[in-house]
């Protein structure tokens, strides 16, 4: 891969990140609100103390001054203190990353792998019952709102049968550690992960299916068959590798959104992830928390797009030229 291509892509990503950094600050201040008044409404706090809190949050300064403070702090990798919890924003976010990463990450990988496999199977047996079965079922799940699918699974898997817990990430009553705790978390994660996996299967299945169908028209496959190769080898050696490019792009873009969480599904299953944290922070508004979360989300999307660009360049040499 040539160095100029790589450097160009990385440079582009950095410029985008810098833009996001500046944009984030103003985005949450377009609508004029006073977070201190909102957060402390009806709490019977003397006026002097409220003014003091505004000063502590840096809200007494003009917008320009606040912006300079923000740039200085962010440059030192300091995302500030959350207005609501008064804990460092990074610590708050860091504590919630594993929950989201585990749930959305595992579901993304599962839906990508299973979805692609199903798409390939459907394309290879185009027009058969298998094709119709796969396409219909994956599209059915894909078109359901994910929170509704979640509620259905919740009713079936937790409420009616009692096989899975209704919500949360661990059993709050026990103090297990180690492997027991891990299994407990998996038990809690099964339903939300199943929901997200089913919800996103269709996306991969349909992309993989149409991409493979395109590839199957290519002349080199006819040559491969003419050489007398077995059907399975034609598929696995010649067709799939060439059909996978759009799937790679889709996976990379989706992985970028893994950290943003899944607000609706996290809420249905009381899963303590970043999606939930975002909706809570909007209410204040907890400006430092929002800035931190959006910076992280944007950085993840930019990073994975960059990775997709680079990987794509490697998989398909035509992109680099």
Residue ranges in 188-207 that form contacts with other proteins under rule CB under 8 A:
188-190, 193-194, 197
**Are 281 and 214 within 8 A, CB to CB?**
no
Q: For residues 44 and 76, which CB has a smaller minimum distance to other proteins in the complex?
A: 44
Does the protein bind other proteins through residue 114 (CB under 8 A)?
Answer: yes
- Shortest spacing between CB 227 and other proteins, in angstroms: 21
Q: Does 165 bind other proteins (CB under 8 A)?
A: yes
Within residues 200-259, the interface with other proteins by CB under 8 A covers none
Distance CA(168)–CA(95), nearest Å, equals 15
Nearer to other proteins, 126 or 187 (CB): 187
Q: What is the smallest separation between the CB atom of 179 and other proteins, expressed in angstroms?
A: 8
Stretch that binds other proteins, among 10-18, 26-34, 59-67, 303-311 (CB under 8 A): 26-34
Q: Can you read off the two tokens belonging to residue 319? A: 């992109």
Q: Which two tokens stand for residue 220?
A: 């080199």
Query: Which of these segments, 33-41, 69-77, 219-227, 250-258, binds other proteins (CB under 8 A)?
Result: 33-41
- Which residue of 63, 159, 223, 253 would you call a contact of other proteins, by CB under 8 A? 159
Number of residues that bind other proteins (CB under 8 A): 83
Where would I find the H helices in the chain?
Answer: 3-27, 35-39, 47-56, 63-75, 89-100, 106-124, 129-143, 146-154, 178-216, 219-226, 231-233, 240-243, 245-256, 263-268, 274-283, 287-315
Among 156, 180, 222, 223, binds other proteins (CB under 8 A): 180
User: Does residue 141 belong to the site contacting other proteins (CB under 8 A)?
Assistant: no
- Residue 283 binds other proteins (CB under 8 A): yes
To other proteins, the closest distance from the beta carbon of 272 in angstroms equals 3
Q: Which residues, at least 6 apart from 210, have a Cβ–Cβ distance to it below 8 Å? A: 123
Q: Is 291 in the site for other proteins (CB under 8 A)?
A: no
Q: How far is the CB of 46 from other proteins (least distance, A)?
A: 6
Smallest distance from the beta carbon of 306 to other proteins, in angstroms? Answer: 30
Phi, psi torsion values for 218, nearest 5 degrees? -70, 150
Of 20, 25, 57, 82, the one binding other proteins by CB under 8 A:
82
Binding test (CB under 8 A) with other proteins, winner from 68, 140, 166, 253: 166
- Which range, of 4-12, 37-45, 66-74, 214-222, touches other proteins by CB under 8 A? 37-45
Q: Could you give the 3-state DSSP secondary structure of residue 88?
A: strand
Burial code (b: 16+ CB inside 10 Å, e: under 16) for 287-318 equals bbbbbbbbbbbbbbbbbbbbbbbbebbeeeee
Nearest to 292 by CA among 96, 82, 56: 82
Task: Name the β-bridge partners of 88.
Answer: 81
**One of 37, 128, 136, 143 touching other proteins (CB under 8 A):** 37
Q: Which of 15, 49, 140, 241 binds other proteins (CB under 8 A)?
A: 49
DSSP state of 81: B
Tell whether residue 287 is a contact of other proteins (CB under 8 A): no
Asked whether 302 and 16 are in contact (CB, 8 A), the reply is yes
190 or 303, CB closer to other proteins? 190
Q: Does 176 bind other proteins (CB under 8 A)?
A: yes
Give the separation between CA 319 and CA 248, rounded to whole angstroms. Answer: 14
The CA distance from 37 to 102, in Å, is 36
């Amino acid at each position: 891969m040539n160095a100029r291509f790589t450097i160009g892509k990385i440079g582009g990503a950095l410029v985008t990140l810098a833009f996001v950094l500046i944009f984030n600050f103003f985005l949450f201040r377009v609508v004029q609100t006073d977070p201190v008044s909102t957060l402390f409404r009806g709490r019977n706090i003397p006026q002097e103390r409220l003014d003091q809190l505004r000063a502590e949050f840096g809200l007494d300064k003009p917008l320009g001054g606040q912006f300079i403070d923000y740039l200085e702090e962010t440059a030192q990798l300091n995302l500030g203190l959350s207005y609501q919890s008064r804990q460092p924003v990074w610590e708050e976010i860091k504590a919630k990353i594993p929950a989201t990463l585990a749930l959305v990450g595992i579901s993304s990988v599962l839906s990508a792998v299973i979805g692609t496999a199903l798409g390939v199977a459907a394309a290879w047996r185009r027009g058969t019952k298998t094709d119709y079965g796969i396409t219909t079922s994956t599209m059915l799940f894909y078109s359901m709102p994910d929170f509704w699918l979640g509620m259905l699974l919740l009713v079936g898997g937790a409420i009616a049968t009692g096989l899975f817990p209704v919500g949360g990430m661990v059993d709050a009553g026990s103090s297990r550690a180690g492997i027991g705790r891990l299994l407990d978390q998996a038990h809690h994660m099964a339903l939300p992960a199943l929901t997200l996996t089913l919800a996103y299967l269709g996306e991969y299945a349909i992309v993989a299916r149409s991409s493979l169908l395109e590839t199957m028209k290519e002349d080199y496959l006819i040559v491969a068959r003419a050489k007398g190769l077995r059907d399975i080898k034609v598929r696995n050696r010649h067709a799939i590798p060439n059909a996978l490019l759009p799937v790679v792009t889709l996976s990379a873009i989706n992985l970028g959104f893994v950290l943003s969480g899944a607000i609706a599904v996290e809420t249905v299953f009381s899963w303590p992830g970043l999606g939930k944290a975002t909706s809570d922070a909007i209410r204040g508004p907890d400006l430092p928390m929002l800035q931190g979360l959006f910076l992280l989300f944007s950085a993840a999307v930019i990073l994975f797009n960059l990775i997709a660009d680079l990987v794509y360049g490697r998989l398909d040499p035509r992109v680099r030229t």
